[in-house]
Amino acid sequence: MNSLREAVTEYLATRRALGAPLRWVGYALLRFVSFMEQRDCCYVKTALAVEWAKQDSCGKRQELTSAQRLSFVREFAKYRLAEDPRTEIPPYGLLPYPPRRVPVLIVKGNEIQEGSNLPETDSHRVRTLREAITEYLAMRRALGFKLRIAGKGLLHFASFMEQRGAEYITVPLALEWAQKPASANTASWAKRLGFVRQFAQYRVAADPRSEIPPWNIIPYSIRRARPYLYTDEEIQRLLTAALNLPIYSSPGVLRRQTYYCLIGLLAVSGMRIGEAINLKLKGVDFDSGVLTIEGSKFGQSRLVPVHPSTQAALSDYKLFRDDYLNTRGLASDYFFTTQSGGRLDGGDVRRKFYVLSKMIGLRGNGPNTGPRIHDLRHRFAVETLLRWYRNGEDVEHKLPVLSTYLGHVKVKDTYWYLTACPELMGQAVKLVEQRWEEGQ
């Protein structure tokens, strides 16, 4: 485990590599490390962090407030916690920010003079709550976050706050908004409150009156949907059903081929549905058999190699789509296209998949009564892990490979499959027992 000083140096180097100068932050954190060394403490403790923030002036950096200095430690503590579980993250609100002050201009005759600074009032605020939300969403989207649901939620929250005549976030108002509609479950309420909490953490730097809702104010547990593992026979029946989709005119022939190829690709590649429908024509390299996924989750891109048989199926579909589009004077940058050459719509693809599932008896007539198209991705992950286990391969060391292939941001998201499938758990237990017996 790195020492506290080494960890601060590593933290600063990591953030500076991402483009953050951190001049004041770096200077303050190094002084904080010296303070902790004097206290003979090798991990971040809230009480010591507050003590340092209150008494340290950071040398010539007198303009830094104690709350700002504590915030530097807080961000470092979030980073440090993964390596040292003893780390304490100082809560928000321990040290109040002083009221912001703005210069007052006094007019005397034909002269304008700067008077004494006065506390900032509502009329002097640079941004309203709605403007701040718009700025916050733009900033996070520039970092690669889609924020489709969160964006709509926060703009609705802004309207709610305007109706209440509130100009800054308070916990009671945030809680009142989050618990709408009353018929929703606690997980939905907690999710909505989470949107406000993240924004409040951003907003408090500009408006110290902002209150940050606690994490445990709406208790709930996350329940991930149990994946449905399609059999090879069910996959084949889905593909056959795609080739038998109802058509009411000649353009319907392209629809059949599109869904046949799309479902097949999802089944053998583990791609997300959004990645497949956004796949560009230039992103399919038939020579190397590699697909280029651009701007996937969190704005990341990656390469997805596919089997020669998949290359052949994609090549056949391209010949069909090109002939169809060319004869109608159409063109498209997307690999999978609609009959008019446009991009496939995710909602429409899911609805068509429900139709196919009902055609082969996998789904009932009611909502949420059968497997999802996203379960094709789960199937790919589980089948890959099962194959590794059965072949006696070192799954623990190969798991990051699967994680990278699937485009998971965190390896723990791939580890989830080990607990989601009973057969995988059984294979893991067998492997542990085998190694235990070999060690005897």
408 labelled catalytic: yes
Query: Helix 422-438 and helix 375-390: axis angle, to 10°?
Result: 20
In this structure, are residues 224 and 215 in contact, taking their beta carbons and an 8 Å threshold? no
Catalytic pick among 272, 352, 378, 379: 272
Which residues are registered as beta bridge partners of 291? 284, 304
Catalytic pick among 80, 377, 378, 379: 377
Instruction: Please list, in sequence order, all residues whose beta carbon lies within 8 angstroms of the beta carbon of residue 158, skipping any fewer than 6 positions away.
Output: 129, 130, 133
Catalytic pick among 324, 354, 405, 417: 417
397 labelled catalytic: no
In this structure, are residues 215 and 190 in contact, taking their beta carbons and an 8 Å threshold? no
In this structure, are residues 169 and 196 in contact, taking their beta carbons and an 8 Å threshold? yes
Nearest in space to 359 (alpha carbons), one of 343, 346, 370 = 370
Catalytic pick among 100, 256, 297, 343: 297
* CA–CA–CA angle 251, 254, 260 (5° rounding): 145
* CA–CA–CA angle 111, 114, 117 (5° rounding): 155
In this structure, are residues 371 and 363 in contact, taking their beta carbons and an 8 Å threshold? yes
Catalytic pick among 15, 302, 374, 415: 374
What region does 353 belong to: left with phi over 0, alpha with psi -120 to 50, or beta? alpha
In this structure, are residues 120 and 75 in contact, taking their beta carbons and an 8 Å threshold? no
Catalytic pick among 69, 74, 363, 408: 408
124 labelled catalytic: no
Distance CA(379)–CA(372), nearest Å, equals 11
State the number of CA atoms in the 13 A half-sphere of 404 facing the CB. 8
In this structure, are residues 360 and 230 in contact, taking their beta carbons and an 8 Å threshold? no
377 labelled catalytic: yes
Active site residues: 272, 297, 374, 377, 408, 417
